[in-house]
A = this chain, B = another copy of it.
Amino acid sequence: MSTVSLSVDPENDPRIKAVFDDIRTTRNTQTVNALWHYLAFDPTLLEETWRDVKELMATETLIDFKTKEMLYLAVSIANACDYCAHSHTAAARARGMTDAEYGELLRIVGLASKTNALANAIKPPVDAVFDKERS
């Protein structure tokens, strides 16, 4: 069940085929996962989203691939995204995250969620020492 319908043969559209081909090449896989198939209802949306994900998550940058996927996952959990919790847990594992690291990630996400709530309730003043602007 989705809010968009899949076309029978999306890769008839050359813009969609180009993105799907690039996903397969970049990730060295035959599988294009569901999110991309559904985003394809709007080729511009598909192209932009893949460009952003490719540039940051599939390219070597400053932070290593495993840590980047764990950060992405932590945000996805906090945003209550069901699909993303599944896809980015799988992605982090593919980049080397062990069960023990996943367990520790969950302890961090859980604790942060707890203290975030406490600070949002009590609203303590931000310590001057945390003010980077004036340091």
Contacts and interface: CB of A to CB of B under 8 A. Distances in A.
A124 B38 contact: yes
Given A61-B104, A67-B67, A71-B71, A118 B123 contact: no
Interface in A97-116: 99-116
Nearest to A131: B1
A89 to B, nearest CB: 4
Interface string A39-73: 10110110011001100110001110001101111
Interface string A68-87: 10111111111111111111
A1 B111 contact: no
A66 to B, nearest CB: 9
B119 A44 contact: no
A9 interface: no
A37 to B, nearest CB: 7
A100 to B, nearest CB: 6
